[in-house]
Structure 1
């Protein structure tokens, strides 16, 4: 293999690794947001975990975080608003990145 091929393969591997890390960070942040929302809804234990999984799955509807914000906002109703949910999302994205990077 030539040096160019080696560099190309290394770049592709890094891209795949970075994409996997970002996926894990997003999933972790959505789970944390789901647990926060579950607490606001009065859920705990297995019920809170189940709700958090629903929030994670809701991210598969479209690119970005707005599908998650819509789900959580709809579920929380008047107890929260989209701006508060987005602020929590930003907070949990930073926390999730720390957690995932510590695991890697």
Structure 2
């Protein structure tokens, strides 16, 4: 019986760990996306950092990836179309995963 409980605990721990990693990856991607958008809008320094923070917040306050897309799309207006933003979101997701995995090791 102990081995079943051990396996169950191991699965629960792995699930929690994977969820934590995904949370960090999503937050990092959103920050990078916010910085990218800020650059397109001509912001730098503290203004760019504040914009990135607002993009990260939109994920939590408005509800997920589509909220982030909506925030960035609205902020950029005609500076980037939907395909460009979504492609950037995808490429930055890969970059964020790489950064987080490097930090974990």
Range into which the TM-score falls when normalised by the shorter chain: over 0.9
Aligned-pair CA distance for 1:94: 0.2
1:39 & 1:76 partners in 2: Cα distance?
10
- Structure 1: how far apart are the matches of 2:63 and 2:33? 17
> Do residues 73 (structure 1) and 62 (structure 2) align?
no
So what's the TM-score if we normalise by structure 1?
A: 0.96
Displacement after TM superposition at 1:83 (Å): 1.4
Q: RMSD of aligned C-alpha atoms? A: 0.9
- Counting matched residue pairs gives 103
Gaps of 5+ in 2: none
Q: Name the CA distance, whole Å, in 2 between partners of 1:49 and 1:10.
A: 38
Cα drift, residue 82 of structure 1: 1.6
Work out the CA distance in 2 between the residues paired with 1:13 and 1:31.
27
Query: Under a length normalisation based on structure 2, what TM-score does the superposition of the two structures give?
Result: 0.95
- 5+ residue gaps in structure 1? none
> Residues 12-45 of structure 1: CA distance to partner in whole angstroms, max 9, x if unpaired?
0000000000000000001000000000111101
Q: Which has the higher helix share?
A: 2
